Amino acid sequence: MEDFMSKMLFADLIPILVIMAIAYISGKKNVFKEGQSQVLNKLVLDYALPAALFISIVKADREMLFENATLSLISLVGLVALFMLSYYTIQWFFKRTKAEGAVCALVAGSPTIGFLGYAILDPLFGTGIETGLVVAIVAIVVNAITIPIGLYLLNAGKASSGTTNDGQAAPPQGNAILSSLKQPVVWAPILAVVFVLIGIKVPSQLDPTFNLIAQANSSVAVFAAGLTLAAYKFELDWEVAYNTFFKLVLMPAIFLAAGLFFNLSSLTLQMLVLGVALPPAFSGVIISGQFNVYTRQATSSLAVSVIGFIIAAPAWVYLAKTLSS
């Protein structure tokens, strides 16, 4: 466990914090002009992230998805239900708009499984089929289902308020689905899932083409998050605390209970609980910055959750291992 924590800390979490800190300082010193973080957000949201999602999902196969129907069902129902719970509770408790609720759900209700999934799980559980199964299923639900739902709710929320992020008149609410489907970050993972379900294999020779732009996703996303955080006053308020609690405590607790109820194997349960306890998906923070909605709370929640995960990770692995055995 100590070796796992050391690798996780120095190989994954510290680099995230360092890059965010560098970007934050650069933003405070005006090294980057106002609005340049939007350019980075657009690069990630429209190009790097869709490529990363597409190439990661198409590596799965139908057998992998249906090999463990219980795991797939728990992941699908659990992630979507908690996503919607975050969407509604942030409106009830903190009087947020529907658009802000959508972005909050993309942050508090979505683990960054695509970026940190293998990096966190492999050192502890190895590179076996079970690890790939958990990462693939959770990643598909997050990237191909909850992100499109979040963008639809965001567009619908803006349409109901009558304005867009730039202050212009919003399209009619009935066009919210169409507006969401036009986003590359929505249709790329959906297309990848279709390919997997019907058995279309993307030639491995194309991987370098996708990877070249996809590799910019994580680093640029973290840097853009730091710039965005620099533009707002960082505050550890009750709302950020609630988002962090939702991400690091409530989500893994519910998945642990569900896994025990449906009698998942101990190894699968440990990986699933740790996977959903991962810090917020960077895509949510990027969407927040791109649409200028819920930005301070989103970036603050990301920063606090990354630090909190250092404590939460070993605790959840220990609980899942103890209770399932």
| 186-to-138, 167, 174, 179, 193 alpha-carbon distances in Å | 16, 23, 18, 10, 11
Q: What is the pLDDT of residue 170?
A: 44
pLDDT in the model for residue 174: 47
How many other C-beta atoms can be found within 10 angstroms of the C-beta atom of residue 92? Answer: 9
CATH number, domain 2-324, options 1.20.1530.20, 3.90.45.10, 3.40.50.620, 3.40.50.720: 1.20.1530.20
Q: How many CB atoms lie within 10 A of CB 235?
A: 11
User: How confident is the model over 21-50, as a mean pLDDT?
Assistant: 81
Give the other-Cβ count within 10 Å of 254's Cβ: 17
pLDDT greater than 60 at residue 309? yes
- For the residues 84-105, what does the mean pLDDT come to? 96
User: Which pTM value belongs to this model?
Assistant: 0.78
103-146 tens-digit pLDDT = 999 999 999 886 677 667 776 776 555 776 787 788 888 878 89
Closest CA to 158 of 296, 284, 291: 291
Give me the residue label for tokens 């920063």: 303
Residue 157: CB atoms within 10 A of its CB come to 23
Where exactly are the structural domains of the chain? Answer: 2-324
Q: What is the mean pLDDT of residues 288-304?
A: 88
